[in-house]
Amino acid sequence: MRYHTHIATSIAAGAGVAITGDASFTFPYVVGIAIGALLPDIDEPNSYIGRRSLGLAKVIKSIFGHRGITHSILASGLIFYLHTMYNNDFTLGIAYGYAFHILGDFFSKRGVPFFSPLSKKKFKPPLTYETGGGAETLIFYLAVIGSFYMLYKYQLYTQLF
């Protein structure tokens, strides 16, 4: 999934969490979601975040490979644990964005190694999309439309500032 689709789908999912759960759709929460949605790709030097990582992405990729440990339940769990240590809307957004990124990549043709580093086996459902393909473009636009719908239908915009 491309970076803008990760951000759009994660914000839409984060809006859904805010509507149905205890999260507040605040500006720090949304910024955290956007950052968290990019973080798992720190293992790819050519990714949006990897190109801005000052060489860190190359180091991580050389040790773990792309879609290795950064795309696992363990990594997501560690991010949620950090949220418990620094409990605020921003860190909650990062944790949700990170988890939503992994979920988005789960539906891609390449899948994700949920149990890395214990296993390199990648999991994916029967119905998948091709990164950069027409289905991903459709997912992006549906996420944007869904986000705007929830912003106005549930007046989430009133919590932003």
Res 161: pLDDT? 85
Both tokens of residue 120?
């390199």
For the chain, which residues make up each domain, given as ranges? 3-160
Both tokens of residue 75?
């990594």
Q: What is the pTM of this model?
A: 0.96
pLDDT along the chain (161 residues), means of 10: 98 98 96 98 97 97 94 98 98 98 98 96 97 97 98 96 85
C-alpha dist (Å) from residue 124 to 54, 65, 90, 105, 108 = 32, 18, 29, 9, 7
